[in-house]
Amino acid sequence: MKFGLRYCNTGRYVDPANAVQLLEAGEEAGFESAWTVEHTVVPTGYESSYPYSADGKMANSQNDIPLPDPLIWMAYAAACTTKIKLATGILILPQHSPVITAKQIATLDHMSNGRVLLGIGVGWLREEFEAIGVPFDNRGRRTDEYVAVMRELWSADSPTFHGEFINFDGAICRPQPKNGAVPIIVGGHSKAAACRAGRLGDGFFPARDASPEMIALVRQTAEEHGRDPDAIEITTGLPDDLDTIPDLAAAGVDRLLVPVTSMAGLKTVISSPEDALNWRDLVEKYADT
């Protein structure tokens, strides 16, 4: 079982000094990864329904809090750390050019010695898409194609791609990721997200709980597409009852994320870098679960 720190580019960790202290403590305690979150803008008075609350709104006035760009925050963090992996949980992929994103991710992975995990999602906030100037309605198809585009740029000697949205021939994009690719982890709570993870993901990250039904759907979809279901990592949130961690491992969960702020209405479990150090024994206890 791996453990990660969740939503590290929020709250007090917007401050660079606090961010460094958190990640240094996380590395010392044995945390495997630090996860960020993305909203470029949150338009006031949005009518789109937030999928993780009963009232359809983000908690704690999250449309009016500092939320640094995840990739730039991760680049700063990479320069201040040596071991901990740096992840997006998630990057709203259809809001980005896949060619530019592939370059940014590959550069960060190259310079951090292969420590990037790319969590992606299709997004839910229509008003944000409109503000950015990209279409909302075809975001699922674009996400699937953008994944293929990035993998082509990361791995091919002379990348060439012809799709519905993106076309290029011999588009050299260097540097490429250290290990030839960056793991792509599909985020989301829906059946569509689980199926996408099974079809093309290296991992699946349901935002709240990885239910047995969702895990089964990921595995089934992987098998239907000729993929190894055991190769798809399952990441989910820390359970309230820590004694259930072995049960989650038995169900196929590979990584648990521990909240460090109250972002998205989550209960803050680690409230300071000093708290992170106190998790060393638990991380070591379940390392071989």
| Domains by residue range for the chain, with CATH | 2-285 (3.20.20.30)
Q: Is the pLDDT of residue 103 over 90?
A: yes
Q: Is the pLDDT of residue 252 over 60?
A: yes
pLDDT per residue over 55-66, tens digit each? 898 875 555 789
Q: Crossing angle, helix 191-200 and helix 139-155, to 10 degrees?
A: 20
pTM: 0.96
- When pLDDT is cut at 50, 70 and 90, the band that residue 289 belongs to is low
pLDDT per residue over 272-282, tens digit each? 999 999 999 99
- When pLDDT is cut at 50, 70 and 90, the band that residue 80 belongs to is very high
C-alpha pair distances (Å), 184 with each of 36, 169, 232: 14, 24, 10
Lowest mean pLDDT among 39-53, 57-71, 87-101, 266-280: 57-71
Q: In 10 A of CB 40, how many CB atoms?
A: 15
Residue 36: the pLDDT is 98
For strand 167-168 and strand 161-162, is the pairing parallel, antiparallel, or unpaired?
antiparallel
Angle at 182 between CA 32 and CA 205, to 5 degrees: 60
pLDDT per residue over 111-146, tens digit each? 999 999 999 999 999 999 999 999 999 999 999 999
Residue with tokens 């704690």: 60
